[in-house]
Amino acid sequence: MATFFYRRNLILVAPNKIGSMASETILDKVLIDAWHARAILQNDPKVNVLCLTRDPVSFFVSGYRYLRRPELEKQYHSNRIFDWHMEACLENYKEFQKDGYNGYRPPHYFDAHSWWGPIRTVENELGKEYINRVKWIRIEDSYRVKRMYMRFLSNELPPQEKIVLNSTGDDVPYPTLTNNSIRIMKTLCDWENTGYNFRKSVWKYQHR
């Protein structure tokens, strides 16, 4: 369910809730699916793997607010209370741990947009053997993100007004973090080695 792109010797992975919509808009001409991404990597060991990553608390909160949208709330039985939402994420996480991910089985829509994250995207949709080859790009680093897009587009970006950003409106409130929701996020967050410190992430959100 993540979005993949390929050009020359580069594969870019844009996980759900981590710049996937903007990437698809900007790089639509080099869009591929996960099956083709795996085939390319197996046939050419010199291909570089890039993956977008995001501040973990920002990711969890964004997923919660996204699933609270009216068009999604009924379909996915979204919880209005953030702690209950995170409890649902934890329950699904434990089920996936039992299943062992079943190879390349993609996560359900709720999971992909609420807790799945960048590390699981690479491991499950490309393969665990590629995780140490990934160059992580933080979406908060706008300069580096722009330079990365330009590598795929021969230094020519589309006009800003044509780039689609999947943002949730202000009518969906930002939640207050509790000790319970922080504990669950810490359990689910497995991407500190992509350039983030979870404790700092919590502090940043609480003092935004």
pLDDT single digits (tens) 130-147: 999 999 999 999 899 988
For the stretch 42-72, pLDDT in tens is 999 899 999 999 999 999 999 999 888 766 6
pLDDT band at 96 (very low <50, low <70, confident <90, very high): confident
d(CA 22, CA 146) in angstroms, rounded, equals: 11
* Cβ atoms of 45 and 189 closer than 8 Å: no
Q: pLDDT, tens digit, for every residue of 81-92?
A: 899 999 999 998
DSSP 107: P
Share of the chain above pLDDT 90, in %: 60
Half-sphere exposure of 144 (CA within 13 A, CB side): 11
Closest CA to 136 of 41, 29, 6, 13: 13
CA 124/CA 34 separation, integer angstroms: 10
Q: What is the pLDDT of residues 154-199, one digit of tens each?
A: 767 655 545 555 666 667 789 999 999 999 999 999 998 899 999 9
The reported pTM is 0.89
**Residue-wise burial string across 112-151, b where 16 or more C-beta atoms lie within 10 A, e elsewhere:** bbbbbbbbbbbbbbbeeebbebbebbbbeeeeebeebbee
Please answer whether residues 80 and 130 qualify as being in contact, where contact means their C-beta atoms are separated by less than 8 angstroms.
no
Question: pLDDT value at position 45?
Answer: 85
Task: Give pLDDT, residue 70.
Answer: 66
Q: Over 70: is that where the pLDDT of 75 sits? A: no
